[in-house]
Amino acid sequence: MPTFEYAPAPESSAIVDIRSSYGLFINGDFVDGRDGGFRKTVNPATEEVLAEVTEAGAEDVDAAVAAARAAFEGDWGRMRGADRAKYLYRLARIIQERARELAVLESLDNGKPIRESRDVDVPLVAAHFFYYAGWADKLAYAGLGTAPRPIGVAGQVIPWNFPLLMLAWKIAPALACGNTVVLKPAETTPLTALAFAEICRQAELPPGVVNIVTGAGETGRRLVEHPGIDKVAFTGSTEVGRAIAKAVAGTDKRLTLELGGKAANIVFDDAPLDQAVEGIVNGIFFNQGHVCCAGSRLLVQESILEPVLDRLKRRMALLRVGDPLDKNTDVGAINSAAQLERIRELSAAGEAEGADRWSAPCELPARGFWFAPTLFTGVSQAHRIAREEIFGPVLSVLTFRTPAEAVEKANNSPYGLSAGVWTEKGSRILAVADRLRAGVIWANTFNKFDPSSPFGGYKESGYGREGGRHGLEAYLAH
Ligand code: NDP
């Protein structure tokens, strides 16, 4: 059968207006940093500098926390839930109106394909604000006491893999519950958070309710350790999460941690194979595998290993890797040089420890940070690639013979964030899901998200839940 080449289908970047430099968003205004430091944010697909972003120092974090405190003790803290909801609805609608611009900006700064930023990230961002707007005047009916109160000022630190979506996961429930926030985006992906700051102004959100301080890990550390913060919410690596838990221990700050994962995606011999292969691909290659709940450990029943691998390799060879702004692109750029280095290092460890590496044949662009979709077979439980979070487009394939063995292997991880089960039998789904120690379990699908569904982990994947009614609990004193 003849195959046809795809014509380029680039999304125009003319819709975004990136300034050459950005200040901090404090008390409703963009202000200069007091320490005078800047960092550059680059497009990971081209290595071009997109903008200079202020690095918030100690005095800036003080100012942001003071603004959030004043707003909390002022009108926002006293506002009726129904009135707070109007602001959240307004934010959601403006996000929808500016959806294309936000999607392009996210793809430029993060490297993710426009297909994902346009069809997954940004619609989910708006959906989160709509969803939590609906809760703002119904908190007394959330099963968290009859008179739940906001906690106060939330310090929120987010990673670079879903920059705007993680912002929404943090800010929407905090505001719905009547808190104010100071949020620090990741150093490599600050631009959509700064665009959101403009949206807060457009929505006429009262000054100080949302403050955005950009900077590196040190700014994040200052924020979570600040004595004026009542609640810390963090998503990122287990290592930093551990440091934050130590810093918060012994204070009266509330803490939720959403950390790493090494999810098992379990395929039984009665699974519909073509669907399962799509689910495996979506599980690990969605967002370049920069996903805490990625299905990075494929557990295949031994009897179907060969047909699964054949189909999987055929499907992986069709993935289009390249320009994130091209609407045909499936796999975009790795977010940073540092992350690319980590993926390379762990992949090299996989080979050195004896696993077999296979990468999809694809031409990688000469500039930028790229890694071909890769799978490892002959992986044993002890290999680093089976234990550590690679956070890249790399799949480790293991086998099992019985359901008990599948569960044993799936649970043999310090993490417990998510898992997938592929089988035709409903009873098997329920029996296996019951025994998996994972916060989210998908059956015959993977990487499906909804604002009404709680998300969070067991063990070293963190504690607390985000999303759904459960997500309110982290932001309410009751
Ligand atoms: P980090 O955990 O370092 O980054 C997450 C956020 O925390 C960023 O905003 C970061 O700032 C900030 N931060 C860093 N140090 C501190 C600190 N001491 N106190 C407070 N905040 C801090 O993740 P990395 O970006 O370094 O990624 C490393 C690895 O972590 C990845 O390879 C991946 O395995 C894992 N990871 C997991 C994520 C998940 O969702 N589970 C998300 C991101 C990474 P800055 O960006 O400026 O350094």
DSSP 397: E
C-alpha span between 352 and 356 (Å, rounded): 10
pLDDT of residue 5: 83
- Other beta carbons within 10 angstroms of residue 435's beta carbon come to 13
From 6, 448, 95, select the one nearest 105 (Cα to Cα): 95
Give the helix ranges, DSSP H, for 330-378: 337-352
Ligand 1 centre to CA of 244 (Å) is 11
Q: Whose CA is nearest to atom 29 of ligand 1?
A: 237
Ligand 1 centre to CA of 133 (Å) is 29
pLDDT of residue 1: 62
Catalytic residue positions?
258, 292
Q: Whose CA is nearest to atom 36 of ligand 1?
A: 237
pLDDT of residue 35: 83
Asked if residue 389 has its Cβ within 6 Å of ligand 1, the reply is: yes
Asked if residue 74 has its Cβ within 6 Å of ligand 1, the reply is: no
> Best mutation site among 170, 184, 240 for ligand 1, i.e. most ligand atoms within 8 A of its Cβ?
240
Starting at the edge strand found earlier in the chain, the sheet holding 37-42 runs: 21-22, 49-55, 37-42
44 Cβ contact partners less than 8 Å away, ≥ 6 residues apart: 110, 111, 188, 333, 334, 335, 336, 368, 369
pLDDT of residue 3: 72
DSSP 249-291: TTSS-EEEEE-----EEEE-TTS-HHHHHHHHHHHHHGGGG--
Average pLDDT per run of 10 along the chain, which is 478 residues long?
82 97 98 92 98 98 98 96 98 98 98 98 98 98 94 98 98 98 98 98 98 97 98 96 96 96 98 98 98 98 98 98 98 98 98 98 96 98 97 98 98 97 97 97 97 95 95 93
Angle, alpha carbons 99-102-105 (nearest 5°): 150
C-alpha span between 152 and 362 (Å, rounded): 50
Is 62 exposed, middle or buried (CB count within 10 Å of its CB: 0-12, 13-18, 19+)? middle
What does the block give as tokens for 401?
A: 């013979």
Ligand 1 centre to CA of 269 (Å) is 38
C-alpha span between 360 and 230 (Å, rounded): 48
> Best mutation site among 55, 161, 237 for ligand 1, i.e. most ligand atoms within 8 A of its Cβ?
237
Ligand 1 centre to CA of 247 (Å) is 16
C-alpha span between 314 and 358 (Å, rounded): 12
What does the block give as tokens for 408?
A: 């044993």
Asked if residue 184 has its Cβ within 6 Å of ligand 1, the reply is: yes
> At 43, is the secondary structure helix, strand, or coil?
coil
pLDDT of residue 278: 98
DSSP 146: S
Q: What is the atom index within ligand 1 of the atom nearest the CA of 390?
A: 34
What does the block give as tokens for 258?
A: 């959403």
What distance, in Å, lies between the first and last C-alpha atoms of the chain? 65
> At 403, is the secondary structure helix, strand, or coil?
helix
C-alpha span between 392 and 371 (Å, rounded): 8
pTM (two decimals): 0.97
- Other beta carbons within 10 angstroms of residue 338's beta carbon come to 10
pLDDT of residue 312: 98
Q: Whose CA is nearest to atom 26 of ligand 1?
A: 237
Asked if residue 396 has its Cβ within 6 Å of ligand 1, the reply is: no
